[in-house]
Amino acid sequence: MAEVEETLKRIQSHKGVVGTMVVNAEGIPIRTTLDNSTTVQYSGLLHQLTMKAKSTVRDIDPQNDLTFLRIRSKKHEIMVAPDKEYLLIVIQNPCE
Amino acid sequence: MAPKAQKQKSSDGNKKTKQRKTKQTLPDREETEPANMENIGHPEIYPLVLTTQTQEIFNCRIDEDVTDGKPYKLIKKEDILADFKNRAAVSDFYPVKKVIQEYPGDELLVVYDKDFRYGLNFYLIGTEEGKENYLNYPEVPEEHEEYKEYIPEDLYIYRPPISKPWVSLGSEKEIDEESVKESAKQITYMISRKRREFGTPIKFRDQNASSVKDAYIECTAYSDKNFIIKQLEKDVGMQVVPNVKDTSTQTKWTYPQNVAIQYYPREFSEEEKEIFGQSKPLINFLNNASISVEIALQQNEIMNTFIDDWKNLAEEEGTFEDKTDTHLKEYQSFTDLHNLAETMVTSVSWHPTIYGLIAVSVAVRLSFEDRVHFSGKLLLQPSLILFWSFSDPIHPQLMLESPDDIFCFKFCPSDPNIIAGGCINGQIVLWDITAHADRIENIKTGGSSSKKVTLKPMFLLEPDSNKEVMYIRHCAVSSIENGHKKVITDIHWLSDTFEINRMGSVFENRNGICCQLVTCSADCTICFWDIRPQKALTPQPVEKKKEESIEIPYDVPSTFLHLDLSWKPFTKIKLSKGETSLDHCPTRVSLSEDNFLYKTQDKVSAQSKAVKTGEIHPYQSLEGGFGNNLKPIEDFCTKFFVGTEEGEVIYTDWKMERDPDTGRMMAKKPVNLYTVHDGAVHTVQRSPFYKDIILTIGGWNLAIWKEGVTTGPLLQSCCAPKRYTAGHWSLTRPGVFYIGREDGYIDIWDLLEKTHEPSQSQNICITMITCIKPWTFSAKQQFIAIADYYGTLHILEIPWTLSHPSANEVSGTSHYFEREVKYLEYVEQRKKIREQEKKEMDLELEKKKSKIGHCLFFCTLTNAD
């Protein structure tokens, strides 16, 4: 328990990080640092996108698998680390 | 037979003419004409009955004279004629008398008709031709005539037709029968009309045929039974077939579909989240995932890989004017033509909210001695602050009256209708123009009527009837005894975020409005004033107050009534020079929170703050008293810069401290003192972009300071050819500032371009520039107000190049300042190093001196520069 919190806190303390959340395989948030509505929105959308990205990578090469997904937008960068059962989503503001 | 026909015709013609006459003449014809064998085709044969007596006369007795071998007898015509004479009608030839008479020949042929072929026993041939024919062809029977006809065909001898008289053969009967004769007499109708109706237009009208009797006759059809045939039998063929029809339709197949709608997101409850927190897989996952995540995060922190360097290289686009134009353009200028005295402009201030409104304080252009000399005259003339508007260059919109010449004034940042000014006699004057606020706000509508800018001579100049220039009396002045003794050189409103008490400690300002002022004057003091009514610290006798109450004119608002003539500063700081009796004479003050005047976009928040207390004007209901319950603000920098008349820049503190000797409150000693300028410092100003960069201008040079850097100014310019008399930072470009000279020129300095001299110089007027104030109205419009010694206010427009910073100007300027700071540090260090070196050198010299003689020649001074 403490480990989980500690890891999340460490990630959150990086420069420019807006929010961190852990989502399960179905897209239901487990841990989050943002408010509920934003979390739900991010988790639902990114979960679908990660599934799509994963299937895309797999379709091209069945031996391949998705390891990391980074989406850079004008304002933020969203980083998704997928796993079999969980999803770690971090939102960072990279511009200084 | 043609001749016979001819003859026939002629006789026929006779007959016909006879016929035309009457029908009744028919029987006559038969009487006169002998009957002939016309009807059997032999019109020349006339049957006769010859009696025996006749036979004897003419010698044509049967079987004696006329035999079968010779059935004919030629009788002479004369004998017949004699016979006629003898026996007249008894003669047998009487019926053919006419024929005989007309007979051309002499002898007539009489033929015995034994067989009675022609009805009688004898017949007469009435024509010569017939006679001839008979004679030539004695076989007379008609059957033989046919043979006779054959024979002549072998040798046809053409005989030209001999016209004979027409012999009627009965054809006229046929013609009569066939010809059309009118059975009835033709009826003639004569229809006449009146003459005047000739040619008139004809009018036709319709008439129903059935309405008029006998208008029409119809043959109605009727089924005549005689002609009806009933069909009793009919032949019909039939085929029996089954009736089959082919149709088709398409129906929609509705099939059930599973649809699920989620109307709230699925979430885990707290317990479930707890369980998750404990689970091992999650921990492992996080440990693995966080590694890559942290790498990614750090990548972003290190460098922004997505920077478009090309784009960043480019300067800002979208200029509306020629980029090469760098001159200030004259826009407008204002001069007070009413005032007869020669005035100069002492201070200029733009109205913080209203566009195009600028306030100018004017003072009489006299030296101190002259003032004393003309003091009586001066009292009569009002000293004014004029409000000019762009729309009307001749008439000022408002004129604020003051007891004496104003040398500095400021609009209150929280409420632009409150103006505080410092007088030449040491008084602070307060105006409240709330009542006239709508007048100056709607200047455009009023000014349009007086668009004519024709300069009339002064005695003709009269204010328009609809636009009276308003003289507005001040509503409060400070106490003469307790305030400043000499001219107030600078006045500032303290920021509305803090307030100061008597000790100089800083507290939070709950009012949200500016309520404190700071002034500095030539009597070497800096005073802090509070505009709120003070609690009576010393009880004053009530009667005295009543006596002192002066009648206030009705048009003066009573906002600051409590302050009038009794206003005292709550703190006084004396700038003493320590042991000497001479004190510093401050000319300008710059506090740390002083740059709210430049923030034009904050006017909304300022207004909203002012209206916070509902409809009530906040300045009307100022509550007095000092911070009993106010929270002190910690970490507040109470130090500020002061520029003096001697050209020094002092960095001092306003917090009072207890003097250990006397126990009184005393101002702290100045932290730093720099003697930089050659003349009185007239500008001490913080940069609008950097809170700790201060520009000081005085005498013939300028200096830029950084708060906290105590070694000296960051930049100190060399002596200029002309004295600097006014200066101001640019509001939009961090490295640009404007300096006015005493010959009417403006020097525009650009720190990123040149630091040793101004980048531009432009002539504005002929006399000394007394005040410079730039102002930004919009991104495209920036004006600079320049006031000169002769009382004229020039408004110029700042071109694009001077008003718009380049892309990296802010960072460039800050880098410049940092570089300067570093340079100062380096200089300090170098000083130390140099000292060290000097010491070493001295030591060496000493050493060398101790040596004898020639060693001196071989000493080389190492110059380690």
- Asked if residue B299 has pLDDT above 60, the reply is yes
Distances (CA, A) of A4 to A1, A12, B278, B283: 5, 12, 8, 6
Which residues in chain A have Cβ-Cβ distances shorter than 8 Å to B304? 94-96
Query: B462, B395 in Cβ contact below 8 A?
Result: no
Q: Provide the residue type at B322 as one letter.
A: D
Average pLDDT over residues B197-207: 83
B303: left (phi over 0), alpha (psi -120 to 50) or beta: beta
End-to-end CA distance of chain A: give it in Å, rounded. Answer: 33
Interior CA angle at B604 toward B603 and B605, to 5°?
95
pLDDT at site B538: 44
pLDDT band for B15, please (50, 70, 90 cuts).
very low
**What distance in Å separates the CA atoms of residue B394 and residue B385, rounded to the nearest whole number?**
15
Mean model confidence pLDDT for chain A: 90
* The most confident of A60-64, B180-184, B513-517, B620-624, by mean pLDDT: A60-64
Q: How far is B815 from chain A (nearest CA, A)?
A: 17
pLDDT digits (tens, 9 = 90+) for B218-256: 788 887 878 878 888 889 899 888 888 999 988 888 888
Contacts of A10 in chain B (CB under 8 A): 290, 294
Average pLDDT taken over every residue of chain B: 75
CB proximity A35 to B under 8 Å: no
Residue B341: which CATH number? Answer: 2.130.10.10
Residue B477: give the domain boundaries.
334-439+468-534+556-574
Which candidate from A17, A85, A88 shows the least CB-CB separation from B281? Answer: A85
pLDDT on residue A89: 94
In this predicted structure, what is the pLDDT of residue A52?
Answer: 95
Q: Which residues of A touch B278 (CB under 8 A)?
A: 1
A52 touches chain B (CB under 8 A): no
Residues of B in contact with A90 (CB under 8 A): 293, 296-297
Residue A22: its pLDDT value, please? 92
For residue B865, pLDDT beyond 60: no
Q: For the segment B159-179, what is each residue's pLDDT rounded down to a tens digit?
A: 888 888 888 888 888 888 888
Q: Considering Cα of B476, then B482, then B488, then B490, what sign does the dihedral take?
A: negative
Please state whether beta strands B470-472 and B488-493 pair in parallel, antiparallel, or not at all (unpaired): unpaired
Check: CB of residue B391 under 8 Å from CB of residue B442. Answer: no
Q: How many residues does chain A have?
A: 96
**pLDDT in the model for residue B551:** 55
Q: What is the pLDDT of residue B66?
A: 67
CA distance B390 to B399: 16
Angle between helices A2-12 and B280-302 (to 10 degrees): 10
In this structure, are strands B470-472 and B398-402 parallel, antiparallel, or unpaired?
parallel
pLDDT on residue B579: 54
Query: Which pLDDT belongs to residue B602?
Result: 38
Using a CB-CB distance cutoff of 8 angstroms, which residues of chain B are in contact with residue A86? 281-282, 285-286, 289
A87, A51 Cβ separation under 8 angstroms:
no
Residue B41 — pLDDT band, cuts 50, 70, 90? low
The arithmetic mean of pLDDT across residues B254-261, rounded, is: 87
Select the residue of A11, A29, A67 nearest B294 (Cβ to Cβ): A11
Q: State yes or no: pLDDT of B393 exceeds 50.
A: yes
| CB–CB contact B289 A70 (8 Å) | no
B388 lies in some domain: yes
Per the CB < 8 Å rule, is B289 touching A83?
yes
Could you say which of A4, A16, A90 has the minimum Cβ distance to residue B277?
A: A4
pLDDT at residue B32 is higher than 60: no
Pairing assessment for the beta strands B470-472 and B428-432 based on DSSP bridges: unpaired
What does the pLDDT average to over B383-397? 84
Q: Determine the residue of chain A that is closest to B276 in CA distance.
A: A30
Q: Is residue A56 part of a domain?
A: yes
Reported as a single tens digit per residue, the pLDDT across B725-762 is 989 998 888 888 999 999 989 999 988 888 888 888 98
- Domain membership of residue A68 (yes or no) is yes
Exposure of B78 in the CB half-sphere (CA atoms within 13 A): 1
DSSP character at residue B207: -
- Give the whole-angstrom CA distance, residue B399 versus residue B384: 6
Q: State the best of B264, B272, B297 to mutate against chain A, taking most chain A CBs within 10 Å.
A: B297
Of A40, A92, A95, the CB nearest to B297: A92
Alpha-carbon gap: A28 to the closest alpha carbon of chain B (Å): 6
User: Cα separations (Å) of B500 from B630, B651, B692?
Assistant: 11, 19, 21
- Which residue out of B268, B270, B299, B300 would a mutagenesis test of the A interface target, given it has the greatest number of A Cβ atoms within 10 Å? B300
**Cα separation, A34 vs B168, whole angstroms:** 151
A79 belongs to a structural domain: yes
* Closest chain A residue by Cα to residue B302: A94
In chain B, % helix, strand, coil (3-state, to 5) comes to 25, 25, 50
Asked if the C-beta of A21 comes within 8 angstroms of chain B's C-beta atoms, the answer is no
Percent of chain B with pLDDT over 90: 2
Q: Has residue A81 got a pLDDT over 90?
A: yes
Task: For residue B306, report the phi and psi dihedrals to the nearest 5 degrees.
Answer: -100, 15
Q: Is residue A5 part of a domain?
A: no
In a domain, B528, yes or no: yes
pLDDT reading at B601 higher than 90: no
pLDDT confidence bin for B671, thresholds 50/70/90: confident
- Give the residue from chain B lying closest to A38, CA to CA: B265
Q: Which residue has the tokens 């706000």?
A: B441
Write down which residue in B101, B135, B169 finishes a domain: B135
Pick from B580, B569, B587, B575: which is nearest to B654 by CA? B575
Distance CA A39, CA A41 (A): 5
Kindly state whether A70 is in contact with chain B, defined as any CB-CB distance less than 8 angstroms.
yes
Question: pLDDT tens digit string along A13-35?
Answer: 988 899 999 998 888 898 899 99
Contacts of A24 in chain B (CB under 8 A): 276
CB contact under 8 A, B268 and A68: no
C-alpha B11/C-alpha B18 separation (Å) is 10
A89 part of contact set with chain B, CB < 8 Å: no
Looking at the DSSP bridge assignments, the partners of residue B490 are B520
Judge: B286–A92 Cβ closer than 8 Å, yes or no.
no
For B271, the closest chain A residue by CA position comes to A30
Contact of B601 with B533, CB cutoff 8 Å? no
Which one-letter DSSP state was computed for residue B740?
Answer: E
Query: Is B398 inside a domain boundary?
Result: yes
Instruction: Looking at the complex, report in whole angstroms how far the Cα of residue B268 sits from the nearest Cα belonging to chain A.
Output: 7
- Bridge partners of A78, per DSSP, are A71, A91
The answer to whether the CB atoms of B277 and A16 lie below 8 A apart is: no
Q: B260 falls in which pLDDT band (50, 70, 90)?
A: confident
For the domain that residue A72 is a member of, what is the CATH number? 3.30.450.30
Q: Give the pLDDT of residue B40.
A: 64
The number of distinct structural domains making up chain A is 1
Provide the pLDDT for residue B580.
55
CB pairs under 8 A between A and B: 93
Distance CA(B655)–CA(B644), nearest Å, equals: 20
Amino acid, res. B558: S
Say yes or no: A66 contacts chain B, CB-CB below 8 A.
no
Taking the CA of residue B299 and the nearest CA in chain A, the distance in Å comes to: 9
Report the pLDDT value the prediction gives residue B213, as an integer from 0 to 100: 78
Of residues B373 and B347, more confidence is placed in: B347
CB spacing of B268 vs A96 below 8 angstroms: no
Mean pLDDT of B408-421: 86
pLDDT band with cut points at 50, 70 and 90 for residue B608: very low
**Which chain B residue has the Cα nearest residue A28?**
B267
Residues of chain A found within 8 Å of residue B301, distances taken between Cβ atoms: 14-16, 94
Q: Is the pLDDT of residue B210 over 60?
A: yes
The reply to whether residue B282 touches residue A1, judged by beta carbons under 8 angstroms, is no
When comparing pLDDT for B131 and B37, which is higher?
B131
Please indicate if any CB of chain B lies within 8 Å of the CB of A76: no
As a whole number, mean pLDDT of residues B641-668 equals 75
Q: Which domain holds residue A34?
A: 16-92
Rounded CA-CA distance B804/B319 in Å is: 9
pLDDT greater than 80 at residue B791:
yes
Average the pLDDT over B249-268 and give the result: 85
Query: Does A8 map to a domain?
Result: no
Residue A81 Cα, gap to closest chain B Cα (Å):
6
Measure the CA–CA gap between A22 and B270, rounded to whole angstroms.
Answer: 14
Check if A16 contacts B (Cβ < 8 Å): yes
Q: Which two tokens stand for residue B850?
A: 């101790």
Buried b / exposed e along B459-474 (16+ C-beta atoms within 10 A): eeeeeeeebeebebbb
Nearest to B342 by CA among B377, B388, B301: B377
> Is A20 contained in some domain?
yes
Q: Closest partner residue to A92 among B287, B288, B300, by Cβ?
A: B300
User: Minimal Cα distance from B283: which residue of A?
Assistant: A4
Return the bridge partners of B171, or none: none
The three-state secondary structure class of B498 is strand
The answer as to whether B368 is a domain residue is yes
Alpha-carbon gap, residue B730 to B693, rounded angstroms: 13
Burial per residue of B619-650, b for 16 or more beta-carbon CB atoms within 10 angstroms, e otherwise: beebeeebbeebeeeeebebbbbbbbbbbbbb
Asked if B110 contacts B57 with a C-beta cutoff of 8 angstroms, the reply is: no
For every residue of B301-362, DSSP letters joined together read: HH--TT--HHHHHSPP----S-TT--SPEEEEEEE--S--S-EEEEEEEE-SSSTTEEEEEE
Contacts of A81 in chain B (CB under 8 A): 289-290, 292-293
Tokens 């910073």 identify what position? B805
Cβ–Cβ of B296/A4 closer than 8 Å? no
Contacts of A92 (CB under 8 A, 6+ apart): A14, A16, A17, A18, A76, A77, A79, B297, B300
**Separation between Cα atoms, residue B464 and residue B384, nearest integer Å:** 20
- H or E stretch covering B648: strand B648-653
Type of residue numbered B786:
I
**Dihedral pair phi/psi, residue B388, rounded to 5°:** -105, 145
Interface contact flag, A11 B296, Cβ < 8 Å:
no
The pLDDT, as a whole number, for residue A16 is 87
Place of tokens 């001040």: B474
Please check whether residue B569 is in contact with residue B444, taking contact to mean a CB–CB distance below 8 angstroms. no
A2 assigned to some structural domain: no
> Given an 8 Å threshold on Cβ–Cβ distance, is B273 in contact with A31?
yes
Q: Which residue has the higher pLDDT, B348 or B577?
A: B348
Contact A16 B300 (CB under 8 A): yes
B423 within domain boundaries: yes
**Cα–Cα dist A68/A50, whole Å:** 9
CA atoms of B744 and B750, how far apart (whole Å): 20
Report, as an integer, the average pLDDT of B608-628: 46
**A86 has pLDDT over 50:** yes
Least confident of B238-247, B307-316, B483-492: B307-316
Nearest CB among A7, A26, A30 relative to B273 is that of A30
- The alpha carbon of A42 is separated from its chain's Cα centroid by a whole number of angstroms, namely 9
| Band of pLDDT at residue B375, cut at 50, 70 and 90 | confident
Residue B301: which of A7, A15, A83 has the nearest Cβ?
A: A15
Q: How many CB atoms lie within 10 A of CB B36?
A: 23
Higher pLDDT, B535 or B213: B213
> Is the residue at B31 inside a domain?
no
Q: Per residue in A38-52, pLDDT tens? A: 999 999 999 999 999
Total domains present in chain B = 3
Tens of pLDDT, residue by residue over B828-854, are 888 899 999 999 999 999 988 887 555
Token reading at B835: 């000292």
User: B859 or A28, which is more confident?
Assistant: A28
Nearest Cβ partner of B286 from A4, A28, A96?
A: A4
Q: Is the pLDDT of residue B275 over 80?
A: yes
Is A84 part of any domain?
yes
Q: How far is B312 from chain A (nearest CA, A)?
A: 14
pLDDT band at A66; cut points 50, 70, 90? very high
